[in-house]
Structure 1
Amino acid sequence: MTALFPATSTIVLFDFDGTLVDSTPAVKASLQLACESMGAAPPDPVALDAAIAQGVLMGDLFRLIHPRADSAEIARWLEAYREAYRRIGLDHSRLFPGAVELLQTLRQAGYRLTIVSNKSEPSIHVALQHFGLAGYFEHVWGEQADMPGKPQPDLFVRKILPAFPQASRSNFLMIGDTVADRDFAAASGVHFCLVAYGYGEVSLNGRKDCFKIHALNELPHHLQAARSFA
Protein backbone atom coordinates (compact mmCIF):
# COMPACT_ATOMS: atom_id res chain seq x y z
CA MET A 1 0.00 0.00 0.00
CA THR A 2 1.30 3.42 -0.97
CA ALA A 3 2.53 5.49 1.98
CA LEU A 4 0.50 8.59 2.77
CA PHE A 5 1.62 12.12 3.34
CA PRO A 6 1.73 13.24 7.01
CA ALA A 7 -1.67 14.27 8.35
CA THR A 8 -1.88 16.14 11.62
CA SER A 9 -5.55 17.03 11.84
CA THR A 10 -7.61 14.55 9.84
CA ILE A 11 -9.91 12.45 12.03
CA VAL A 12 -11.40 9.31 10.53
CA LEU A 13 -14.70 8.02 11.93
CA PHE A 14 -15.10 4.36 11.01
CA ASP A 15 -18.37 2.53 11.12
CA PHE A 16 -17.80 -1.04 12.33
CA ASP A 17 -20.17 -3.70 10.96
CA GLY A 18 -20.18 -3.72 7.16
CA THR A 19 -17.17 -1.40 7.02
CA LEU A 20 -14.31 -3.05 8.90
CA VAL A 21 -15.96 -6.33 9.89
CA ASP A 22 -18.29 -8.59 7.95
CA SER A 23 -20.69 -9.61 10.71
CA THR A 24 -23.90 -10.26 8.78
CA PRO A 25 -23.54 -14.05 9.26
CA ALA A 26 -23.03 -13.42 13.00
CA VAL A 27 -26.15 -11.26 13.26
CA LYS A 28 -28.27 -13.81 11.41
CA ALA A 29 -26.95 -16.80 13.38
CA SER A 30 -27.48 -14.97 16.68
CA LEU A 31 -31.00 -13.96 15.69
CA GLN A 32 -31.74 -17.59 14.83
CA LEU A 33 -30.61 -18.69 18.29
CA ALA A 34 -32.58 -15.88 19.92
CA CYS A 35 -35.71 -16.96 18.08
CA GLU A 36 -35.20 -20.54 19.20
CA SER A 37 -34.73 -19.48 22.82
CA MET A 38 -37.86 -17.30 22.63
CA GLY A 39 -39.90 -20.01 20.93
CA ALA A 40 -40.56 -17.71 17.98
CA ALA A 41 -40.42 -18.10 14.24
CA PRO A 42 -37.30 -16.64 12.58
CA PRO A 43 -37.72 -13.27 10.88
CA ASP A 44 -38.55 -12.98 7.20
CA PRO A 45 -35.18 -13.02 5.37
CA VAL A 46 -36.12 -10.11 3.12
CA ALA A 47 -37.22 -7.95 6.05
CA LEU A 48 -34.09 -8.87 7.98
CA ASP A 49 -31.77 -8.00 5.10
CA ALA A 50 -33.56 -4.68 4.63
CA ALA A 51 -33.22 -3.86 8.34
CA ILE A 52 -29.50 -4.71 8.38
CA ALA A 53 -28.95 -2.62 5.25
CA GLN A 54 -30.47 0.42 6.96
CA GLY A 55 -27.87 0.28 9.72
CA VAL A 56 -30.52 0.60 12.42
CA LEU A 57 -30.06 0.06 16.15
CA MET A 58 -30.75 -3.52 17.20
CA GLY A 59 -33.80 -2.50 19.23
CA ASP A 60 -35.23 -0.73 16.18
CA LEU A 61 -34.40 -3.79 14.08
CA PHE A 62 -36.59 -5.91 16.35
CA ARG A 63 -39.38 -3.35 16.06
CA LEU A 64 -39.15 -3.60 12.27
CA ILE A 65 -39.33 -7.38 12.45
CA HIS A 66 -41.99 -7.49 15.21
CA PRO A 67 -43.91 -4.18 14.91
CA ARG A 68 -46.46 -5.16 17.59
CA ALA A 69 -43.85 -5.91 20.27
CA ASP A 70 -43.96 -3.71 23.38
CA SER A 71 -40.93 -2.38 25.22
CA ALA A 72 -40.74 -5.31 27.62
CA GLU A 73 -40.78 -7.81 24.76
CA ILE A 74 -38.13 -5.85 22.87
CA ALA A 75 -35.94 -5.93 25.98
CA ARG A 76 -36.33 -9.73 26.19
CA TRP A 77 -35.43 -10.08 22.52
CA LEU A 78 -32.37 -7.90 22.95
CA GLU A 79 -31.13 -9.91 25.90
CA ALA A 80 -31.65 -13.21 24.05
CA TYR A 81 -29.89 -11.84 20.98
CA ARG A 82 -26.95 -10.41 22.92
CA GLU A 83 -26.48 -13.62 24.88
CA ALA A 84 -26.38 -15.56 21.60
CA TYR A 85 -24.02 -13.05 20.00
CA ARG A 86 -21.63 -13.28 22.96
CA ARG A 87 -21.48 -17.04 22.46
CA ILE A 88 -21.18 -17.33 18.68
CA GLY A 89 -20.85 -13.86 17.12
CA LEU A 90 -17.09 -13.78 16.66
CA ASP A 91 -17.08 -17.29 15.22
CA HIS A 92 -19.23 -15.99 12.37
CA SER A 93 -17.39 -12.68 11.79
CA ARG A 94 -14.33 -11.76 9.76
CA LEU A 95 -12.35 -8.66 8.89
CA PHE A 96 -12.80 -7.30 5.42
CA PRO A 97 -9.64 -7.69 3.30
CA GLY A 98 -7.08 -4.95 3.86
CA ALA A 99 -8.48 -3.70 7.18
CA VAL A 100 -5.31 -4.20 9.25
CA GLU A 101 -3.02 -2.83 6.55
CA LEU A 102 -5.20 0.26 6.12
CA LEU A 103 -5.32 1.03 9.83
CA GLN A 104 -1.54 0.62 10.09
CA THR A 105 -1.02 2.99 7.17
CA LEU A 106 -3.36 5.63 8.50
CA ARG A 107 -1.86 5.59 11.99
CA GLN A 108 1.67 5.81 10.60
CA ALA A 109 0.58 8.81 8.50
CA GLY A 110 -0.76 10.62 11.56
CA TYR A 111 -4.49 10.15 11.14
CA ARG A 112 -6.58 9.95 14.30
CA LEU A 113 -8.92 6.96 14.16
CA THR A 114 -12.21 6.31 15.95
CA ILE A 115 -15.15 3.91 15.77
CA VAL A 116 -18.67 5.37 15.44
CA SER A 117 -21.26 2.60 15.37
CA ASN A 118 -24.82 1.74 16.34
CA LYS A 119 -23.51 -1.57 17.72
CA SER A 120 -23.32 -1.99 21.49
CA GLU A 121 -20.07 -0.56 22.83
CA PRO A 122 -19.06 -3.63 24.88
CA SER A 123 -19.49 -5.82 21.79
CA ILE A 124 -17.26 -3.50 19.77
CA HIS A 125 -14.51 -3.62 22.38
CA VAL A 126 -14.64 -7.42 22.52
CA ALA A 127 -14.44 -7.65 18.73
CA LEU A 128 -11.57 -5.16 18.52
CA GLN A 129 -9.60 -7.23 21.03
CA HIS A 130 -10.45 -10.43 19.17
CA PHE A 131 -9.20 -9.07 15.84
CA GLY A 132 -6.19 -7.28 17.33
CA LEU A 133 -7.44 -3.82 16.36
CA ALA A 134 -7.95 -2.16 19.74
CA GLY A 135 -4.66 -0.23 19.66
CA TYR A 136 -5.51 1.63 16.48
CA PHE A 137 -8.47 3.61 17.81
CA GLU A 138 -8.37 6.70 19.97
CA HIS A 139 -12.08 6.49 20.81
CA VAL A 140 -14.84 3.92 20.43
CA TRP A 141 -18.42 5.16 20.36
CA GLY A 142 -21.22 2.64 20.13
CA GLU A 143 -24.89 2.62 21.06
CA GLN A 144 -25.62 5.30 23.67
CA ALA A 145 -28.30 4.89 26.32
CA ASP A 146 -28.94 8.63 26.56
CA MET A 147 -29.18 9.63 22.89
CA PRO A 148 -30.32 8.37 19.49
CA GLY A 149 -27.89 6.58 17.22
CA LYS A 150 -26.94 7.28 13.62
CA PRO A 151 -28.26 8.96 11.53
CA GLN A 152 -29.12 11.52 14.21
CA PRO A 153 -26.14 13.87 14.86
CA ASP A 154 -26.46 13.92 18.67
CA LEU A 155 -23.42 11.70 19.21
CA PHE A 156 -21.27 13.89 16.99
CA VAL A 157 -22.35 17.11 18.65
CA ARG A 158 -22.32 15.92 22.26
CA LYS A 159 -19.33 13.56 22.36
CA ILE A 160 -17.23 13.48 19.20
CA LEU A 161 -16.69 17.21 18.69
CA PRO A 162 -15.86 17.80 22.39
CA ALA A 163 -13.29 14.98 22.21
CA PHE A 164 -11.39 16.92 19.52
CA PRO A 165 -11.66 20.53 20.72
CA GLN A 166 -9.11 21.89 18.25
CA ALA A 167 -10.80 20.33 15.21
CA SER A 168 -13.37 21.83 12.85
CA ARG A 169 -16.02 19.78 11.10
CA SER A 170 -13.98 19.86 7.90
CA ASN A 171 -11.32 17.79 9.66
CA PHE A 172 -13.64 14.77 9.99
CA LEU A 173 -14.24 11.98 7.48
CA MET A 174 -16.97 9.40 8.16
CA ILE A 175 -16.49 6.00 6.51
CA GLY A 176 -19.49 3.68 6.37
CA ASP A 177 -21.72 1.45 4.33
CA THR A 178 -25.35 2.35 5.07
CA VAL A 179 -27.85 5.14 4.62
CA ALA A 180 -27.55 5.75 8.37
CA ASP A 181 -23.82 6.44 7.97
CA ARG A 182 -24.35 8.72 4.97
CA ASP A 183 -27.11 10.68 6.67
CA PHE A 184 -25.15 10.88 9.95
CA ALA A 185 -22.27 12.48 8.05
CA ALA A 186 -24.61 14.92 6.33
CA ALA A 187 -26.42 15.83 9.56
CA SER A 188 -23.08 16.30 11.33
CA GLY A 189 -21.64 18.43 8.54
CA VAL A 190 -18.67 16.13 7.84
CA HIS A 191 -17.27 14.43 4.74
CA PHE A 192 -18.30 10.88 3.84
CA CYS A 193 -16.73 7.84 2.22
CA LEU A 194 -19.08 5.05 1.18
CA VAL A 195 -17.72 1.51 1.19
CA ALA A 196 -19.68 -0.07 -1.65
CA TYR A 197 -18.91 -3.63 -0.51
CA GLY A 198 -20.94 -3.16 2.71
CA TYR A 199 -24.52 -3.97 3.62
CA GLY A 200 -26.59 -1.19 2.08
CA GLU A 201 -27.53 0.06 -1.38
CA VAL A 202 -26.60 3.71 -0.88
CA SER A 203 -26.71 6.71 -3.18
CA LEU A 204 -24.38 9.64 -2.57
CA ASN A 205 -27.03 12.01 -3.96
CA GLY A 206 -24.44 13.95 -5.95
CA ARG A 207 -22.73 15.38 -2.85
CA LYS A 208 -19.31 16.80 -3.69
CA ASP A 209 -17.92 16.07 -0.22
CA CYS A 210 -18.47 12.30 -0.66
CA PHE A 211 -16.68 9.54 -2.50
CA LYS A 212 -17.01 5.79 -2.91
CA ILE A 213 -14.57 2.91 -2.60
CA HIS A 214 -15.03 -0.74 -3.49
CA ALA A 215 -12.25 -2.08 -1.27
CA LEU A 216 -10.41 -0.73 1.77
CA ASN A 217 -7.09 -0.57 -0.07
CA GLU A 218 -8.57 2.12 -2.34
CA LEU A 219 -8.96 4.60 0.50
CA PRO A 220 -5.42 6.10 0.52
CA HIS A 221 -5.84 7.18 -3.10
CA HIS A 222 -8.80 9.33 -2.06
CA LEU A 223 -7.49 10.85 1.13
CA GLN A 224 -5.77 13.77 -0.57
CA ALA A 225 -9.17 14.64 -2.04
CA ALA A 226 -10.76 14.27 1.37
CA ARG A 227 -8.26 16.73 2.87
CA SER A 228 -8.77 19.17 0.01
CA PHE A 229 -12.48 19.51 0.85
CA ALA A 230 -11.63 21.82 3.74
Structure 2
Amino acid sequence: MIPARAVLLDLDGTLVDPAGGITGGILHALLANGIAHPGDDHLASLVGPPLASGLMTIPGMTEALLPHVIADYRQEYAAHGMAASRVYPGIAELLAGLRADGRILAVATSKPEPLARQLLAAKGLDGYFDSIHGSSPDEVSAPNRTTGKPHIVAAALEATGQGPEATVMVGDRMHDIEGARANALQSIGVAWGFAADGELEAAGAAAVVHSPAELGGLLGIGRGHSASVHGAVRDGIA
Protein backbone atom coordinates (compact mmCIF):
# COMPACT_ATOMS: atom_id res chain seq x y z
CA MET A 1 0.00 0.00 0.00
CA ILE A 2 0.90 3.68 -0.36
CA PRO A 3 -1.08 5.23 2.53
CA ALA A 4 -0.09 8.83 1.80
CA ARG A 5 -1.45 11.61 3.99
CA ALA A 6 -1.87 13.90 0.95
CA VAL A 7 -2.94 12.87 -2.56
CA LEU A 8 -2.37 15.04 -5.65
CA LEU A 9 -4.49 14.15 -8.68
CA ASP A 10 -4.33 15.06 -12.34
CA LEU A 11 -7.61 16.14 -13.95
CA ASP A 12 -8.19 15.16 -17.61
CA GLY A 13 -7.66 11.45 -18.09
CA THR A 14 -7.57 10.81 -14.35
CA LEU A 15 -10.67 12.33 -12.76
CA VAL A 16 -12.58 13.31 -15.89
CA ASP A 17 -12.91 11.69 -19.30
CA PRO A 18 -12.76 14.53 -21.85
CA ALA A 19 -14.87 12.34 -24.19
CA GLY A 20 -13.35 13.94 -27.28
CA GLY A 21 -13.82 17.46 -25.96
CA ILE A 22 -10.09 18.15 -25.98
CA THR A 23 -9.04 16.38 -29.16
CA GLY A 24 -12.11 17.56 -31.06
CA GLY A 25 -11.54 21.12 -29.92
CA ILE A 26 -7.88 21.04 -30.90
CA LEU A 27 -8.73 19.65 -34.32
CA HIS A 28 -11.35 22.38 -34.81
CA ALA A 29 -8.75 25.04 -33.95
CA LEU A 30 -6.08 23.51 -36.19
CA LEU A 31 -8.37 23.34 -39.22
CA ALA A 32 -9.63 26.86 -38.59
CA ASN A 33 -6.03 28.06 -38.84
CA GLY A 34 -5.14 26.13 -41.97
CA ILE A 35 -3.25 23.28 -40.31
CA ALA A 36 -3.94 19.77 -41.58
CA HIS A 37 -5.32 16.96 -39.39
CA PRO A 38 -2.23 15.46 -37.68
CA GLY A 39 -3.87 12.07 -37.11
CA ASP A 40 -5.92 10.72 -34.23
CA ASP A 41 -2.92 9.27 -32.38
CA HIS A 42 -1.11 12.60 -32.46
CA LEU A 43 -4.20 14.40 -31.21
CA ALA A 44 -4.63 11.92 -28.35
CA SER A 45 -1.01 12.46 -27.31
CA LEU A 46 -1.82 16.13 -26.62
CA VAL A 47 -4.07 15.24 -23.67
CA GLY A 48 -1.89 15.69 -20.60
CA PRO A 49 1.13 17.84 -21.42
CA PRO A 50 1.05 21.66 -21.48
CA LEU A 51 -1.02 22.63 -24.49
CA ALA A 52 1.45 25.05 -26.08
CA SER A 53 4.36 22.62 -26.02
CA GLY A 54 2.15 19.83 -27.37
CA LEU A 55 0.80 21.97 -30.19
CA MET A 56 4.32 22.84 -31.31
CA THR A 57 4.88 19.18 -32.19
CA ILE A 58 2.20 19.34 -34.89
CA PRO A 59 3.46 19.72 -38.48
CA GLY A 60 2.66 23.16 -39.80
CA MET A 61 2.40 24.84 -36.39
CA THR A 62 4.37 28.08 -36.00
CA GLU A 63 5.02 30.45 -33.13
CA ALA A 64 2.94 33.06 -34.94
CA LEU A 65 -0.06 30.73 -35.26
CA LEU A 66 0.19 29.29 -31.75
CA PRO A 67 -1.74 31.96 -29.80
CA HIS A 68 -4.52 31.94 -32.39
CA VAL A 69 -4.87 28.16 -32.28
CA ILE A 70 -4.96 28.19 -28.48
CA ALA A 71 -7.58 30.96 -28.43
CA ASP A 72 -9.76 29.11 -30.95
CA TYR A 73 -9.41 25.87 -29.01
CA ARG A 74 -10.33 27.46 -25.69
CA GLN A 75 -13.40 29.06 -27.25
CA GLU A 76 -14.52 25.71 -28.70
CA TYR A 77 -13.80 23.89 -25.43
CA ALA A 78 -15.83 26.38 -23.41
CA ALA A 79 -18.72 26.14 -25.86
CA HIS A 80 -18.82 22.35 -26.27
CA GLY A 81 -15.89 20.42 -24.78
CA MET A 82 -16.57 21.02 -21.12
CA ALA A 83 -20.15 19.81 -21.39
CA ALA A 84 -18.98 16.67 -23.19
CA SER A 85 -16.58 15.72 -20.38
CA ARG A 86 -17.70 13.00 -17.97
CA VAL A 87 -16.45 12.00 -14.52
CA TYR A 88 -15.00 8.50 -14.69
CA PRO A 89 -17.17 5.89 -12.92
CA GLY A 90 -16.04 5.36 -9.36
CA ILE A 91 -14.10 8.61 -9.03
CA ALA A 92 -16.66 10.43 -6.85
CA GLU A 93 -16.79 7.42 -4.53
CA LEU A 94 -13.00 7.30 -4.37
CA LEU A 95 -12.74 11.00 -3.49
CA ALA A 96 -15.47 10.69 -0.86
CA GLY A 97 -13.65 7.75 0.68
CA LEU A 98 -10.34 9.60 0.78
CA ARG A 99 -11.98 12.63 2.38
CA ALA A 100 -13.75 10.47 4.94
CA ASP A 101 -10.37 8.94 5.79
CA GLY A 102 -8.95 12.40 6.48
CA ARG A 103 -6.71 12.67 3.43
CA ILE A 104 -5.66 16.05 2.06
CA LEU A 105 -6.62 16.25 -1.64
CA ALA A 106 -5.33 18.61 -4.32
CA VAL A 107 -5.62 18.82 -8.09
CA ALA A 108 -2.43 19.31 -10.12
CA THR A 109 -3.27 19.81 -13.81
CA SER A 110 -1.69 21.39 -16.86
CA LYS A 111 -5.10 22.88 -17.70
CA PRO A 112 -5.27 26.64 -16.97
CA GLU A 113 -6.26 26.97 -13.33
CA PRO A 114 -9.41 29.07 -13.85
CA LEU A 115 -10.66 26.54 -16.41
CA ALA A 116 -9.82 23.63 -14.12
CA ARG A 117 -11.86 25.21 -11.33
CA GLN A 118 -14.76 25.78 -13.71
CA LEU A 119 -14.67 22.17 -14.95
CA LEU A 120 -14.47 20.68 -11.45
CA ALA A 121 -17.38 22.83 -10.30
CA ALA A 122 -19.44 21.91 -13.35
CA LYS A 123 -18.90 18.21 -12.65
CA GLY A 124 -19.57 18.51 -8.91
CA LEU A 125 -16.04 17.57 -7.85
CA ASP A 126 -14.65 20.85 -6.56
CA GLY A 127 -15.89 20.33 -3.01
CA TYR A 128 -13.66 17.30 -2.52
CA PHE A 129 -10.44 19.28 -2.88
CA ASP A 130 -8.48 21.37 -0.41
CA SER A 131 -6.75 23.20 -3.28
CA ILE A 132 -6.69 23.28 -7.08
CA HIS A 133 -3.56 24.07 -9.09
CA GLY A 134 -3.10 24.52 -12.81
CA SER A 135 -1.16 26.49 -15.36
CA SER A 136 -1.36 30.22 -15.94
CA PRO A 137 -4.07 31.41 -18.33
CA ASP A 138 -1.17 32.75 -20.43
CA GLU A 139 -0.36 29.37 -21.95
CA VAL A 140 2.16 30.61 -24.48
CA SER A 141 4.66 32.03 -21.97
CA ALA A 142 6.99 30.38 -19.47
CA PRO A 143 6.81 28.58 -17.12
CA ASN A 144 3.98 26.72 -18.83
CA ARG A 145 6.14 25.78 -21.81
CA THR A 146 9.56 25.62 -20.19
CA THR A 147 8.99 23.70 -16.98
CA GLY A 148 5.92 21.60 -17.75
CA LYS A 149 4.26 19.91 -14.82
CA PRO A 150 6.90 20.04 -12.03
CA HIS A 151 6.10 23.61 -10.98
CA ILE A 152 2.36 22.79 -10.77
CA VAL A 153 3.04 19.69 -8.67
CA ALA A 154 5.36 21.78 -6.47
CA ALA A 155 2.60 24.33 -5.84
CA ALA A 156 0.10 21.61 -4.99
CA LEU A 157 2.58 19.91 -2.66
CA GLU A 158 3.29 23.15 -0.83
CA ALA A 159 -0.44 23.81 -0.36
CA THR A 160 -0.95 20.45 1.35
CA GLY A 161 1.46 21.36 4.15
CA GLN A 162 2.90 17.84 3.91
CA GLY A 163 6.37 16.66 2.99
CA PRO A 164 7.20 14.58 -0.09
CA GLU A 165 7.40 11.43 2.02
CA ALA A 166 3.73 11.81 2.99
CA THR A 167 2.40 12.74 -0.46
CA VAL A 168 1.68 10.85 -3.68
CA MET A 169 0.89 12.04 -7.20
CA VAL A 170 -1.76 10.23 -9.28
CA GLY A 171 -2.02 10.72 -13.04
CA ASP A 172 -2.49 9.14 -16.45
CA ARG A 173 0.53 10.44 -18.41
CA MET A 174 4.29 10.37 -18.09
CA HIS A 175 4.22 14.12 -17.39
CA ASP A 176 2.45 13.42 -14.09
CA ILE A 177 5.08 10.84 -13.15
CA GLU A 178 7.93 13.14 -14.15
CA GLY A 179 6.38 16.03 -12.21
CA ALA A 180 6.20 13.81 -9.15
CA ARG A 181 9.80 12.66 -9.52
CA ALA A 182 11.02 16.25 -9.87
CA ASN A 183 9.47 16.93 -6.46
CA ALA A 184 10.71 13.70 -4.81
CA LEU A 185 7.19 12.22 -4.69
CA GLN A 186 6.04 8.69 -5.26
CA SER A 187 3.55 8.37 -8.10
CA ILE A 188 0.71 6.11 -9.19
CA GLY A 189 -0.32 5.79 -12.82
CA VAL A 190 -3.92 5.16 -13.87
CA ALA A 191 -4.48 2.93 -16.87
CA TRP A 192 -7.87 4.38 -17.88
CA GLY A 193 -6.44 7.62 -19.28
CA PHE A 194 -4.34 8.51 -22.31
CA ALA A 195 -0.96 6.89 -21.73
CA ALA A 196 0.48 4.65 -24.43
CA ASP A 197 1.23 1.06 -23.49
CA GLY A 198 4.17 0.97 -21.10
CA GLU A 199 4.42 4.77 -20.82
CA LEU A 200 3.68 5.01 -17.12
CA GLU A 201 5.98 2.14 -16.17
CA ALA A 202 8.82 3.56 -18.27
CA ALA A 203 8.38 6.98 -16.64
CA GLY A 204 8.88 5.39 -13.22
CA ALA A 205 5.40 5.06 -11.71
CA ALA A 206 5.57 3.07 -8.48
CA ALA A 207 2.32 1.36 -9.45
CA VAL A 208 -0.25 1.29 -12.24
CA VAL A 209 -3.90 0.73 -11.34
CA HIS A 210 -6.83 -0.17 -13.55
CA SER A 211 -9.84 1.16 -11.62
CA PRO A 212 -10.67 3.78 -8.99
CA ALA A 213 -11.46 0.92 -6.57
CA GLU A 214 -7.98 -0.50 -7.13
CA LEU A 215 -6.50 2.94 -6.56
CA GLY A 216 -8.43 3.26 -3.31
CA GLY A 217 -7.10 -0.08 -2.17
CA LEU A 218 -3.53 0.93 -2.92
CA LEU A 219 -4.05 4.15 -0.96
CA GLY A 220 -5.38 2.15 1.97
CA ILE A 221 -9.12 2.73 1.74
CA GLY A 222 -12.02 0.58 0.58
CA ARG A 223 -11.65 -2.92 -0.81
CA GLY A 224 -9.50 -2.35 -3.88
CA HIS A 225 -7.77 -5.14 -5.75
CA SER A 226 -4.04 -5.69 -6.09
CA ALA A 227 -2.17 -3.24 -8.31
CA SER A 228 0.60 -3.87 -10.79
CA VAL A 229 3.44 -2.56 -8.64
CA HIS A 230 6.74 -1.68 -10.29
CA GLY A 231 9.90 -1.48 -8.22
CA ALA A 232 7.99 -2.20 -5.01
CA VAL A 233 10.78 -4.16 -3.36
CA ARG A 234 13.37 -1.58 -4.41
CA ASP A 235 11.34 1.35 -3.12
CA GLY A 236 9.90 -0.37 -0.06
CA ILE A 237 6.30 0.53 -0.78
CA ALA A 238 4.60 -2.88 -0.86
TM-score by length of 2: 0.80
SS in 1 for 2:168: strand
Counterpart of 1:170 (choices 165, 169, 179) is 165
Q: Deviations over 1:117-176 (max 9, x none)?
A: 11111221111111111111111111135524775523344x2343234x2111111010
Structure 1, unpaired ranges of 5+: 1-6
Deviating 4+ runs (over 6 angstroms): none
**Separation in 1, partners of 2:117, 2:77:** 14
Structure 2, unpaired ranges of 5+: 221-228
SS in 2 for 1:175: strand
Q: Is the 8 A contact 2:153 2:183 kept in 1?
A: yes
SS in 2 for 1:193: strand
SS in 2 for 1:115: strand
What's the RMSD between the two structures over aligned residues?
A: 2.6
Q: Report the count of equivalent residues.
A: 216
Counterpart of 1:185 (choices 180, 184, 189) is 180
Q: Is the 8 A contact 2:92 2:125 kept in 1?
A: yes
Q: What are the equivalent positions in structure 2 for 1:136-175 lying under 5 Å apart?
A: 136-144=128-136, 147-148=143-144, 152-157=149-154, 159-165=155-161, 167-175=162-170
Give the C-alpha shift of residue 16 in structure 1.
0.4
Q: Residue 117 of structure 1 aligns with which residue? A: 109
Q: Is the 8 A contact 1:114 1:137 kept in 2?
A: yes
Q: What are the equivalent positions in structure 2 for 1:4-19 lying under 5 Å apart?
A: 10-19=5-14
Q: Residue 210 of structure 2 aligns with which residue? A: 214
Q: Residue 32 of structure 2 aligns with which residue? A: 37
SS in 1 for 2:106: strand
Cα separation, partners in 2 of 1:77 and 1:43, compared to 1, 3 Å: same
Percent identical pairs in the alignment equals 27
Counterpart of 1:196 (choices 157, 178, 191) is 191
Give the C-alpha shift of residue 211 in structure 1.
1.4
SS in 1 for 2:37: coil
Give the C-alpha shift of residue 36 in structure 1.
4.2
Task: Single out whichever of 144-153 and 168-177 deviates more from structure 2.
Answer: 144-153
Give the C-alpha shift of residue 103 in structure 1.
0.8
Counterpart of 1:81 (choices 51, 73, 80) is 73
Tell me which amino acid in the other structure corresponds to 1:62.
Answer: L
Indicate the structure with greater helix content.
1
Counterpart of 2:57 (choices 56, 64, 71) is 64
**Separation in 1, partners of 2:202, 2:38:** 31
Q: Is the 8 A contact 1:51 1:64 kept in 2?
A: no
**Separation in 1, partners of 2:152, 2:13:** 20
TM-score by length of 1: 0.83
